[in-house]
A and B are shown apart, each in its own frame.
Chain A
């Protein structure tokens, strides 16, 4: 297809509003299937009851058209811009901010966002540098995709960074993951997706952990070395007995996801970001044929 895709800014604002509310209500199918898998494998009675209640909650949210969880989170928007897309980037960011504030006021949603020092809540789910807006460019023709993630705080507080050194090796990385999952226990609302960033700089490492934590279940790290670690670590964290809600059982994590980046010869950074079981996301894809809403 030739030509350019022009992005209509009011449509971005509408999409941002719609995505925030939709993400809070509907869980993606991969997460629903994840619950099914954990439930089938669970051997602990209490844990099975907890998983059944979580599954029931997904159905109640759909039936009553309500939010899955009270935590409206910190709104994150990941924007992927393909080739031959015409968009004013400054206006795009403003439209996302306006859509976020409108969702909060018009629904109404709880604004979970405050100034970090005064703790003042503007009741718009917005503030300095929030919503978080990440923009990247991808090799796809005439496509702009906006992914919305309302990141809940219980699991976001389960974030850790360690600037390991080369002598700590991969053993240091593995030990760090196990120890931090133990430390987080039930506080991060298990079953979780444990996102692990490996390499890069300190900030890139932390960002990779978030990318890993919010990736769809069933997706695999593109770096085969990272993919190997994912499988190993997933089994290991589920052998700890922490279980759903930290009340014991097999199902501590749906999965451990890993993302990697090249790093410095003197460095071996590892970061963890955890996604709670309310692993919410929604997306809008703009193409020449219109806007498609999905997960």
Chain B
């Protein structure tokens, strides 16, 4: 169970070093992305203008305040509360994000499924779990909103954050086929019969 500290971006070898159970903290760029963002990027053919090669995306749609442009707020947005949404709805976008945009890490909550696990294996990447519902804490890791694209989808725009010591995040899916979610699913399935028996349910 190693702890990894990254200055983003990372390369394939760095991404493949991660193992389920490791933790990660990183600084530099982070891209915020969500349902509508990816529906427009991958189903409606819109091209995002950011270079996300080697970077991490986080499943988010933040609370922001519109402010005049300044060095602190170069995109005219100040972060108010930035957290994480449930990843599962965006399962089918992991592969195109990695294959077309070179993304290495997907950050979210609740986990992803087999198609994403295959993308992490094939291309070299990982799913990093951040704790859902702890946005007040997460917001303290965000320094600035550097830029924003596809902002007609606000709050589901494509956000470019500058972060410092973002984490620790738990490596919950890796490029070697490991997935904590799969392990937990198996555990729960294995305990189902006993739970029903304890409830007096006849088999």
Task: List chain A positions with a Cβ less than 8 A from chain B.
Answer: 46, 50, 53-54, 56-57, 60-61, 64, 66-72, 107-112, 119, 121, 152-154, 157, 171, 174-175, 178-179, 182, 185-189, 232-233, 235-237, 239-248, 276-278
Contact = CB atoms under 8 A, between A and B. Distances in A.
A21 to B, nearest CB: 11
Contacts, number: 175
B63 A70 contact: yes
Interface residues of B, number: 52
A70 B111 CA distance: 18
A203 to B, nearest CB: 25
Contact of B85 (A119, A154, A188, A235): A154
Contact of A60 (B80, B111, B137, B191): B137
Nearest to A182: B188
B195 interface: yes
Interface stretch (B9-17, B93-101, B125-133): B125-133
B170 interface: yes
A286 B200 CA distance: 46
A187 B136 contact: no
Interface string B61-95: 11111100000000000001111111011000000
Contact of A178 (B62, B86, B195): B195
Contacts of A188: 86, 110
B184 A241 contact: yes
Nearest to B187: A241
Contacts of B131: 50, 53-54, 57, 244-245
Given A108-B63, A175-B196, A240-B195, A64 B184 contact: no
